[in-house]
Chain A
Amino acid sequence: MNIERLITMANDITNYFSAEPDHAVAVEGIRNHLTRFWDPVMRRQLKAHIAAGGDGLLPLAREAVERLDVPSNAAN
């Protein structure tokens, strides 16, 4: 999928959780949201984007994406 769009969506989610004063809670909020609502294909693509430098992602988003669990291609 269009990675620019995924980055925008991940940053939108991050902007919501940025209000959370506790950093760890904010990162977990973003990670949990991505896990619960995003198809694994999209999560995988974001992870790959981080591996490729992660341009455009907000710092909190990067942290959350780094902690993302994504099932392997075979499982999903």
Chain B
Amino acid sequence: MKKILAIALAVVMVMALAVPAFAADEIVIGVFEPLSGDNGAGGKQETLGIQYANSVTPTVEVGGTTYDVKLVVADNESSNDKAVSAATQLVASGASIVLGSYGSGVSIAASDTFGDAGIPVIGVTCTNPQVTEGNDHYFRICFLDPFQGTVQANFAHDELGATKAYCLGQLGNDYDQGLINYYTQAAEALGMEVTAESFPEGNSDFTSYLTNAKNAGAEVIFAPCSISYAQLIVEQAASQGIDVPITAPDTWDSNVVMEAVQGTDLDVYCTTFYAEGGDPDFEEGFKAYLNSDDTALANNGGNDMIAAVSVMGYDAYYTALEAIKAAGSTDPADVMAALPGTTYTGVSGAIAFDEIGDAIRDSAFIKQANTETGVWDFVAAQTVAEAEAE
């Protein structure tokens, strides 16, 4: 036993030392995403966007030298306690900049690890205000929860004409609870009545919650939760014959949810970062990429529908390249210094950062699930100005 252990240890130690060997002209971009756990599905789609961008533009020119861009993916397992070691892995891999993550909790948890190492991070779809607050290294290219909550409440009030809303989120999930909080604030300011409930983790029976919504006389159900729960809620709402609209945030913008909605009588809306048809060239290329690779297709949920998070991943990659070019160096410190001034016009719109490090981005798209064709139909684009003015 002792000998075997000793040999195994020796082998592994040597490997640990041998792994981070660098090729001469290579720049590492870290990808910090959940590939398993509750947010695994979304994280995989976001990673696909980054990988596709990398396959389109695999090199970057810095100070006259062409560098190969190497993606190093670390799985944070959707879990805050695993996030730190995944982040350390990226730091150890010598990343110049890191992209991610899907889900704000893991981003906040790993933030200090990146900060201490002086590596800048571009948050792709982490929407919690706390991610970029009070630090210099975390940037983000998507909109924020207070904005999204307000947009949702306004939409329910103005477009759906609802006066009573029912919110359902997962207990112990800060994303769900945060959005419910902002939604409630905005909705109550509009004179709406809000009932909020939480379900415990691992719950799969939502019928009683939906009955509660019905009994409360809700005219709209707001359900900010991860994709796996979304699927169950949709399924049970359909079999219970729920006839009020269900609105949801960016997490629901996924073909996995769409599949569940298709063929039902439900009225499902979500706010998101990108509406289909925004950039036909990108869509064509990305679909071809998905269809050429079985694993990629499986990671996208089995079909080639484009999720908004993939688009955001794609844009994040190019924003990172822009920052590296502007820095004229592969040193993380230089890249970080260059990031605040970086601008890029991506598939999802123009990207620039404000003084906190958040994207100056003033529009969210609202989409409705088409239950017959199984695609998301564009409803409206709502901007911050509108949301605040109302």
Q: Do A and B bind each other?
A: no
Give the A-binding residues of B (Cβ under 8 A): none
